[in-house]
Amino acid sequence: MTMMEERFELAAARVEEISRLAETDEGFQPFFKENAEYLAIMAEEYRWVAAGNLKKASLQELQRHNEICFIDLIGKNYDTNYANPAWAVQKLGKEYGQLLSAVSAELRSLPAYVYEQDMEAAVIRMELFLEIYSAFVCAWQEEKGVPAYASVKDIFYWFASDYAELVAQDSIAGSVDWERDFAAKIIMESDLSDIRYLFCYGEYIADDQWKLAEHLNALPEEKIQRIADTYTEGFRKGFVLADKPLDRKKSVAVIYPVGFERVIRAAVSNFEAMGLKPLFVRAAASFLAGRRGYKSGFFGAPANRQFDYDHENDQALYLDRKFLNRKLECRKNAWEQYREKAALYAGPAVVECFGEEPFAPESKPSRTELSEEQRKLDLEYRSRAGAMSNEYVDPETASFTIIAFPLPQIGEAFPEIFDEVLKINTLDEDQYRTIQQRIIDALDRAAWVRVKGMGANRTDLKVMLHPLCDPAHETNFENCLADVNIPVGEVFTSPRLTGTEGVLHVTRVYLNGLEYKDLELTFRDGMVRDYGCANFDTPEEGKKLIADKILARHASLPIGEFAVGTNTAAFVMARRFAIEDRMPILIAEKTGPHFAVGDTCYSHEEDRMTYNPDGKAIIARENEVSALRHEDMGRAYFNCHTDITIPYDELGELTGVAADGTEYPVIRNGRFVLEGTEELNVPLMGL
- Give the integer Cα–Cα distance in Å for 127 and 502: 54
Contacts 24+ apart (CB under 8 A), 103-106: 103/35, 103/128, 103/129, 103/132, 103/156, 104/31, 104/34, 104/35, 105/287, 105/307, 105/310, 105/311, 105/314, 106/286, 106/287, 106/288, 106/314
Q: Sign of torsion, CA 66 67 68 69? A: positive
User: Are residue 156 and residue 198 in the same domain, yes or no?
Assistant: no
User: Are residue 46 and residue 193 in the same domain, yes or no?
Assistant: no
Q: What angle do CA 586, 521, 529 make, to 5 degrees?
A: 130
The residue among 402, 419, 449 that closes a domain is: 402
Q: Is residue 677 part of a domain?
A: yes
Q: Is residue 156 part of a domain?
A: yes
pLDDT tens sequence across 428-468: 888 999 999 999 999 999 999 999 999 999 999 999 999 99
Which residues, in sequence order, are CB contacts of 176 under 8 Å at separation 6+? 251, 279, 338, 341, 342, 344, 345, 393
User: Are residue 149 and residue 255 in the same domain, yes or no?
Assistant: no
Q: Which of 72, 137, 76 is closest to 107 using CA atoms?
A: 72
User: Are residue 215 and residue 340 in the same domain, yes or no?
Assistant: yes
The residue among 369, 402, 435 that closes a domain is: 402
Q: Is residue 592 part of a domain?
A: yes
- Give the integer Cα–Cα distance in Å for 153 and 531: 35
Q: Which domain range does residue 665 map to?
A: 427-526+558-686
Instruction: Tell me how crowded residue 304 is: count the other CB atoms within 10 A of its CB.
Output: 21
Q: Is residue 418 part of a domain?
A: no
Rounded-to-5 percentages of helix, strand, coil across the chain: 50, 20, 35
pLDDT(104) > 70: yes
Q: Which of 344, 390, 391, 341 is closest to 249 using CA atoms?
A: 344
Q: Is the peptide bond before 365 cis (omega within 30 degrees of 0)?
A: no
User: Are residue 243 and residue 212 in the same domain, yes or no?
Assistant: yes
User: Are residue 516 and residue 613 in the same domain, yes or no?
Assistant: yes
Which residues, in sequence order, are CB contacts of 682 under 8 Å at separation 6+? 568
Q: Is residue 412 part of a domain?
A: no
DSSP three-state, residue 345: strand
Q: Is residue 604 part of a domain?
A: yes
- Give the strand pairing for 460-464 and 401-406: unpaired
- Give the integer Cα–Cα distance in Å for 32 and 26: 10
pLDDT tens sequence across 583-631: 888 898 899 999 999 999 888 888 888 888 888 999 999 999 999 988 8
User: Are residue 325 and residue 397 in the same domain, yes or no?
Assistant: yes
User: Are residue 446 and residue 486 in the same domain, yes or no?
Assistant: yes
User: Are residue 145 and residue 181 in the same domain, yes or no?
Assistant: no
User: Are residue 382 and residue 513 in the same domain, yes or no?
Assistant: no
Kindly report the pTM of this predicted structure.
Answer: 0.88
Which residues, in sequence order, are CB contacts of 578 under 8 Å at separation 6+? none
User: Are residue 465 and residue 339 in the same domain, yes or no?
Assistant: no
Residue 461 sits at φ, ψ, to 5 deg, of: -125, 145
Query: Quick one: pLDDT at residue 294?
Result: 64
Q: Is residue 531 part of a domain?
A: no
Band (364; pLDDT cuts 50, 70, 90)? confident
The residue among 162, 195, 219 that closes a domain is: 162
User: Are residue 147 and residue 179 in the same domain, yes or no?
Assistant: no
Q: Bigger pLDDT: 633 or 121?
A: 121
As for how many domains the chain has, the answer is: 3
Q: Is residue 360 part of a domain?
A: yes
Q: Which residues pair with 451 in a beta bridge?
A: 461, 654
CB-based burial label for 411 (10 Å; 0-12, 13-18, 19+)? middle
For residues 295-322, average pLDDT: 93
> Position 132: which residue type?
I
Which residues, in sequence order, are CB contacts of 50 under 8 Å at separation 6+? 117
